[in-house]
Amino acid sequence: MRFSAVVTKENRIYVANCPELDVASQGSTIEGALANLGEAIELYLEDPDAKRPEQEYAPLVTFVEVAEVGSASDLGS
């Protein structure tokens, strides 16, 4: 089975998330985070009650641009 993974860096660790299953793991490297995510997904899927995507699901990961706000006080203006 093939699932997507989104990796972000939080302080000194990498967090890998599988959006299809809402499963996440972490590691000290990108490779480690992905390996740990693979193990977490396998464990998740062992549960017969685990939610699985009903159809082929491929998330779109892209960027969105927003105007930069100077400070929280600018939000009320």
In terms of residues, how long is the chain?
77
CATH number belonging to domain 1-52: 3.30.160.250
Dist. CA 6–CA 23, nearest whole Å: 11
Dist. CA 59–CA 36, nearest whole Å: 21
Q: What is the pLDDT of residue 54?
A: 73
Q: What is the pLDDT of residue 58?
A: 77
One-letter-per-residue 3-state SS of 17-63: EECCCCEEEEECCHHHHHHHHHHHHHHHHHCCCCCCCCCCCCCCCCC
| Chunked mean pLDDT (size 10), the chain, 77 residues | 93 95 97 98 93 78 88 58
